[in-house]
Amino acid sequence: MSNGSVALVLHAHLPYVRSVVPGSLEEDWFFQALMECYLPLLEVLEQAAAAPASTPKLTVGLSPTLLSLLSDPDLKQRFPNWLDRRLDLLPHAETELAEARDHLAGSIQRHKSAWMACDGDLISRFAALQRAEVVDLLTCGATHGYLPLLRNHPETVRGQLRTAVREHHRLIGERPLGIWLPECAYYEGLDQWMRDAGLRYAVLDGHGLLHGRPRPRYGVYAPICSRNGVAFFGRDSEATLPVWSAKDGYPGDPDYREFHRDLGWDLPLEQLSPLGLAAPRPLGLKLHRVTDHSAPLDQKQPYRPAIAAERIRHHASHYLQGRRRQLDQLSSSMSISPLLVAPFDAELFGHWWFEGPSFLAELFQQGPANGIRFTRLRDVLDGSQQLQLCDPCPSSWGQGGYHNYWLNESNGWIVPEWERAGDAMVQRCSRGVGSEQAMQWLQQAARELLLAQSSDWSFILRAGTTTELAKERVQRHLGRFWQLMQAIDGTTELPEGWLEEVQLDDRLFPLIQPLDWAPVNPSAPNA
C-alpha cells in the first residue's frame, strides 16, 4: 500500500426545481439526475461496501435544495411513472440501436426496482452509508448562494449557513461537520460564519490554499487550519483533470456514451405528444457514442455497452496508476502522509458521463491491488496530524478562479437586488413582528430571499442557457419577497389564497428561523 491517500469528493446539487405541474422542464432535470446519477451512485456505494475486499470511502455533499427535492412526496410519487413513460418510448428507437436500447432499458428497470424497494427514500440510504463510515455527508449553502457576493450583509451569509445545517440535521439525522462551499467560493472572514454554524471544514480550489498566508508548506497535499479554527482542503488539479475534462480526459473517449444526442430530439412529435410535449426536448434517452468530437450529432454511431465497459476498466487502472506515482513522488519529499483531494460535481458521474458510476466502482475494486487507499475528509481530520495555521485566499473553482463568472455584464444586475432585499430582511428582523401571522409571512419571505440568492440563476445567465427561466425565477422569488414584506409593514394586503399558493410552490425549509437574519453586533469579535 502506498504512503498517502486519495479523497474523492462529490458535490450533489440541483436548484429548487420543484414544479406543481408534472412534466415541466425543471422536473425533468431532477428526474434525469435521479435516474442517471443519484440511484447509480447509491448502487455503486452499497455494492462496494458489501464486497469483502473493497473499502470504499467517499465524501459526498448533498445540498439542502437537493435534499428538499429528494424528500418531496409529490416528486416521489411521480418518478416511477416518469420512468415508465421513457421505457414506453425506447422500443421506437431505430433497429441499429437495439443493443444500446436494451442496455438502457435494463438500467432503468433496475433503478426503478431499487427505488420501489426503498419507497423512494434515498436520503435514508445515504444516511446509512454515513453510519457505516462509507461516506462523509457534507452540507452546502441553503440554496447554493454565492457567498462572496452576499458578504456586505453578513446576516444573509449566516442565514444561508444556519438554514443549511438545520435542514441537513432534520433530514439526515446528524449535524454536518463539513460543507461544500457553493462554487468552492471563499472570501476573507467566511470561516467565522462557518464556525458560527458549527462547520469545521471545506474544500477550496488549489489557489485558495496556494495563495494563502503564510503559504502552506505542503501546498494542496495537506489540509490547513484558519485562525478561526476551520480546516480547508485544496483541490489537486492533477488528480481531477483526467476525470473532469471532456476534451482531454476519460469522458471524451469515442466509445463512451454521447451526452447531447437524445431520443427526445430524434422521435417524431406524434410519439412525444403522449408525454405532454409540444416540442422535442431531451428525455434522458441517449443511445449513441461520442464517436468523434468533430462529428455532427446526426453522424454519431450506436453505443456499444460491452466495449464501453472494457474502456472503464482500462481508465480506472490508468487513473489509479497515476495517483500511485503522485503519492510515491510526494512521499519522498514530505514529512507527513500526502493527501490527494479530487472534488467533482456529482452529476458528472452518470448524467454528463454515463460511465462515471461504473468508473467509481472500478476504482474501489482495483484500488487495493494498485496500492491506493481512499479516505473521507473527516477521517483525515480525525487523525493525529497537526495542521499548519494558514488563512486561505479568496477564490472559487469557477472560470477565472475568482468571482467573475457570477458577477459580469450578463448577471451583475442581480447583485444590487440581493443587497436591497437582504438589507430589508435584516432591518425587519431587527424590529421584529407583532403577530403570529406576520411571523408566518416573515418565514416565507426568508425562503423567497434564499431562493432568489441561488447561484444557479447567475450561472445560467452567464452560460446563456435557459436564460428566460433563470430571470423568471429570480424575479418571481424577489417579487414574492417584497409582497410579503409589504404585508408585514401593513402597506398592502395579500390576496385571498395567495400565501397558500406560494407555500405550495416553495415548501422547503420548514424549520427556518428569521432570527438567523438578526443584525450582527458590530462590537462582537471578528464581526
Q: Which three cell numbers stand for residue 442?
A: 416573515
Contact between 424 and 474 (Cβ < 8 Å)? no
Q: Are residues 440 and 346 in the same domain?
A: no
* Rg of the chain on CA atoms, in Å: 23
Cα–Cα distance for residue pair 194/202, rounded to 1 Å: 9
> Considering 389, 418, 435, which residue would you say is the last residue of a domain?
389
Q: Are residues 247 and 349 in the same domain?
A: yes
Q: Are residues 55 and 190 in the same domain?
A: yes
Tell me if 395 is assigned to some domain.
no
**What does the pLDDT read at residue 1?**
42
Give 344's DSSP letter: E
Tell me if 524 is assigned to some domain.
no
Q: Are residues 369 and 435 in the same domain?
A: no
- Per-residue buried b or exposed e for 29-56, using 16+ beta carbons within 10 Å of the residue's own CB: bbbbbbbbbbbbbbbbbbebbeeeebbb
Tell me if 438 is assigned to some domain.
yes
Q: Are residues 247 and 321 in the same domain?
A: yes
Cα–Cα distance for residue pair 319/208, rounded to 1 Å: 25
Q: Are residues 375 and 428 in the same domain?
A: no
Torsion sign over Cα 392, 396, 401, 403: negative
Q: Are residues 305 and 234 in the same domain?
A: yes
Contact between 271 and 92 (Cβ < 8 Å)? yes
**What does the pLDDT read at residue 522?**
59
Q: Are residues 338 and 242 in the same domain?
A: yes
Burial of 391 (0-12, 13-18, 19+ CB in 10 A): middle
Q: Are residues 288 and 354 in the same domain?
A: yes
Cα–Cα distance for residue pair 211/77, rounded to 1 Å: 48
Kind of pairing, strands 224-225 and 231-234? antiparallel
Cis bond upstream, residue 214 (ω within 30): yes
Write out the residue range of the structural domain in which residue 35 sits.
Answer: 5-71+126-139+176-389
Tell me if 495 is assigned to some domain.
yes
Q: Output the domain CATH number for residue 501.
A: 1.20.1430.10
Cα–Cα distance for residue pair 114/42, rounded to 1 Å: 10
Listed in sequence order, the residues at least 6 apart from 445 whose beta carbon sits closer than 8 Å to its beta carbon are 425, 428, 480, 481, 484, 485, 488, 514
**What does the pLDDT read at residue 246?**
78
Q: Are residues 421 and 360 in the same domain?
A: no
Please count the other Cβ atoms lying within 10 Å of the Cβ belonging to residue 294: 6
Tell me if 423 is assigned to some domain.
yes
Q: How confident is the model over 425-484, as pLDDT tens digits?
A: 999 999 989 899 999 999 999 999 999 999 999 999 999 988 999 999 999 999 999 999
pTM of the model: 0.96
Q: How confident is the model over 168-202, as pLDDT tens digits?
A: 999 999 999 999 999 999 999 999 999 999 999 99
Contact between 185 and 395 (Cβ < 8 Å)? yes
Q: Are residues 336 and 364 in the same domain?
A: yes
Burial of 329 (0-12, 13-18, 19+ CB in 10 A): exposed
Tell me if 479 is assigned to some domain.
yes
Tell me if 166 is assigned to some domain.
no
Q: Are residues 327 and 414 in the same domain?
A: no
Domain count, the chain: 2
Q: Output the domain CATH number for residue 333.
A: 3.20.110.10
Local structure of 353: helix, strand or coil: strand
pLDDT beneath 70: ranges in the chain: 1-2, 384, 522-527
Tell me if 383 is assigned to some domain.
yes
